[in-house]
């Protein structure tokens, strides 16, 4: 009897795993979609993540099946606040006090936050207060190659090598004495282009450029497509944002 039982267990272990069972093991990522973002920003983020096949992605927001609440965010390993327009106070008002509080509670209790451009500005001390510093634009910083808010491509040093990334008036990040602070990348002038922080029991990762930008973004901005990233910058930033 025992040998038949053991054979059954062995046979079961060799059977293909169903898609549903496999997907349940993938990290779950919430991408905000709503008035605090911009047209196609949330969708571009989602597409850039899903093409890897490594993550489950859902939108959250007032017009989505799941709104941004403390209870809903507990389902996810990472919350992403994508890019938006130029009006940061308006974006914060669009999020509203309840969603802002839910995001802070989520991160404080161990959740992870990834802010891309506007999503990084929203994390600063004047807004969601996930970091202690106020953020300002990298545009017109000493040695920075971009001098206006027009779309452009900038060179960054990331994980020991240089690459080019889509940029639209993103911030730079001052050195921080906060525990857990880590510079993840630098613009060519030496300013920090992406950084990681601790907030409560959780983690905050912020980037000034847009690692998620698609070929369509470059073409619409009339930026040569040979200035697109050569490496998987988005994959790398996701890995860092999800790491404990």
Could you read off the pLDDT tens digit of each residue along the chain, which spans 244 residues?
Answer: 434 333 443 333 333 433 333 446 899 999 999 999 988 999 999 999 999 999 999 999 999 999 999 999 999 999 999 999 889 999 999 999 999 999 999 999 999 999 999 999 999 999 999 999 999 999 999 999 999 999 999 999 987 789 999 999 999 999 999 889 999 999 999 999 999 999 999 999 999 999 999 999 999 999 999 999 999 999 999 999 999 8
| Contact predicate 76/109, CB 8 Å | no
Residue 13 CB partners (closer than 8 Å, separation 6+)? none
What is the β-pairing status of strands 56-60 and 28-32? parallel
- The secondary structure of 65-122 as a DSSP string is SS-S-HHHHTT-SEEEE----S-HHHHHHHHHHHHHHHHHHHHHTT-EEEEETHHHHT
Domain 27-242 has CATH 3.40.50.880: yes
Closest alpha carbon to 49 in 239, 234, 194: 234
Give, to the nearest 10 degrees, the angle between helix 41-50 and helix 233-242.
90
* Domain positions in the chain: 27-242
Q: Which residue has the tokens 């001052």?
A: 174
Name the pTM for this structure: 0.89
Other C-beta atoms lying within 10 Å of the C-beta of residue 112: 24
């Amino acid at each position: 009897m025992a040998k038949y039982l053991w054979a059954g267990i062995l046979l079961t272990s060799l059977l293909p795993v169903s898609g549903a069972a496999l997907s349940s093991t993938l990290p779950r990522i919430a991408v905000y979609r709503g008035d605090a973002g911009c047209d196609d920003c949330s969708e571009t983020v989602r597409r850039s993540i899903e093409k890897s096949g490594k993550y489950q992605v859902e939108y959250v927001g007032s017009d989505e099946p799941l709104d941004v609440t403390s209870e809903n965010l507990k389902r996810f390993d990472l919350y992403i606040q994508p890019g938006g327009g130029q009006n940061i106070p308006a974006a914060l008002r669009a999020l509203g006090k309840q969603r802002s509080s839910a995001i802070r509670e989520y991160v404080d209790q161990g959740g992870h936050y990834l802010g891309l451009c506007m999503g990084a500005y929203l994390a600063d001390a004047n807004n969601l207060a996930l970091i202690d510093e106020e953020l300002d634009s990298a545009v017109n910083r000493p040695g920075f190659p971009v001098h206006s808010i027009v779309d452009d491509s900038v060179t960054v040093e990331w994980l020991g090598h240089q690459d080019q990334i889509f940029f639209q008036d993103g911030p730079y990040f001052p050195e921080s004495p906060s525990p857990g602070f880590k510079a993840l990348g630098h613009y060519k002038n030496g300013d920090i282009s992406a950084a990681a922080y601790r907030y409560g029991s959780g983690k905050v990762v912020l980037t000034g450029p847009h690692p998620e930008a698609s070929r369509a973004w470059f073409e619409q901005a009339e930026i040569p497509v040979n200035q697109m990233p050569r490496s998987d910058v988005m994959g790398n930033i996701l890995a860092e944002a999800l790491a404990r």
